[in-house]
Structure 1
Amino acid sequence: MSDHAVDPATETFLAHRNLLFTVAYEMLGSAADAEDVLQETWLRWIKVDLGQVRDQRAYLVRITTRQSLNRLRTMKRRRETYVGQWLPEPLLTAPDVAEDVELAESMSMALMLVLETLSPTERAVFVLREAFDVSYDEIAAAIGKSPAAVRQIAHRARQHVDARRPRQPVSPSETRAALESLQRALHTRDLQGLLDVLAPEVVMVGDGGGVKKAALRPVMGAEKVVRMILGLVGKVEATITTEPTVVNGSPALALRLDGGIDGIVAIRVEQARITGLYYVRNPEKLTRLESETPLALR
């Protein structure tokens, strides 16, 4: 017997930790809050009599869901005082996550923003059902509602999300191609190049958190977005570099000023053109970009 043997509760928790983090992050859009939820889940889990638990994974997901719901309700109030637009905290993810279309879509900045428009309960039901394929009975046990009520909530949430997300799935190669065009146009200050890669109805959302400069409201329309981008680039005296990265399972750009990370640009692509541009500059949200965050749907 090893002196370093792990007790069964810890072993089970660690085996499912990546899944539990992914559940909490998709519900909250914040890695820091997701980590807090995992801590609260762990404190409750070690008090459970494992002999009474039939499905330990499902039980852990249930605890994580409840803790995430509690936190989501307090975060809604916190968001009301947030300066400017709020974007999810970007996570550096392994390149192979981008090849898992289901995981990449569920983690994408575009979908996470749509989830922000759901009520906390709708978001929990949608995330558990659509991303993690949790049964209606299990979701009902997690959120304290009947399976019939959960089915209705799931249907309503799915309709809401489907009306707002891209019609066609976009491959990582299509996203990378659009990002490369954007990158080239930024480097050469190519006005026409920017207009070519941006859809006429493109929307740009910036998140500076009141710490870094960013538009306080979404910027709509290609010409306004180009003016905003060229204005930002033109005012910066430091050397700007852009490098490809993978954030939330999708190709993205990391912007650096004199070598230091200034922000992350994620995009939404439809029919080979950029319809959504998401620029996270809030320094508090740029702490998970040095090492990859492991994620899991199962």
Structure 2
Amino acid sequence: MTEVARQTVDDTRAVFSGLANGAAHTVTVSATSEFGTSKTTDSVPAKPVKVASQDRYAQAVRDYFEARAALLKGTHTTAEKAAAASPHAAMFRDLLAGQAPDLILTREAHARHGRHFSQVEATLDDLLTGPGPDDTVVVRGRVAERTVLTDKDGDQEPEEGEVPGRFVFADGVLRMEADDAAVEVTMPTDEAAAQAATVAPPAEDSLADIVSPEDEGLPIELDADGMLVDDPAAAGPPLAYAAPNHSGTASWAKRHVSIGWDHSNDCANIVSKALHHGGKMKIRKGPSRNLKSWYRGKIFSKRVDSFT
């Protein structure tokens, strides 16, 4: 067996380029931590396969990013106009049309609050394009996103994020976008794995002793757009309230203590989920790093409603 490439990464993913299409390759993996290095594990043999016109698929994804950015910034006001700016419009027009209403509503909501997206960018790197199931083509890569909200006074709220993206084309048309890391997770189903699984204990019949009413915060005033009210005395639409249900929050948290993580550091995120799903706290729109927002509804098309 001949070693053709070697990498050391800080993630659970690595991209190897320059492999011979059609030749069987085996990946050998070991992990290193403060406790030492594990034994190696070998994958089953896999053969890289070249997809015809693979550059066209990657460019379609990049143009799709540009079209979404145009809708958020207001460069184009309809999905059809945003898609028409790309020679690959036919490859992503349908998916963009499905997302357009939410993107436009987000832009309009921020406009009502004197804010606009001054910058919306997304890049696609570390590409892998290959055949998928049922004659699909799958484009995988590292998606780095950056948005900047600018208010009427010129103050800016930058937001950055990076996810492993998966884009599935069927009959040459982009049909699905997903987090590649989430798609790749496969849970074992044998008896030993089931016995080793951690199961959350049932919630108590009464949770009144966990959070007393006097310890609860005051209701948070939100406007009709689900955004924080900067000046409660200002004239405007009726206010909504986002005070969480304390017993529901605690009950949801206890029942879902072993829920899967959405982010590499997930401690605040699980609290957000408990407040929203169990406490019925209303989701606010806005970038996750804006201290006035607990929940981020969407960055482009990705729903991460409980991100804190």
Higher relative contact order, chain-length normalized (CA < 8 Å, sep 6+)? 1
Structure with higher Rg: it is: 2
More strand by share: 2
Higher percent of residues as helix: 1
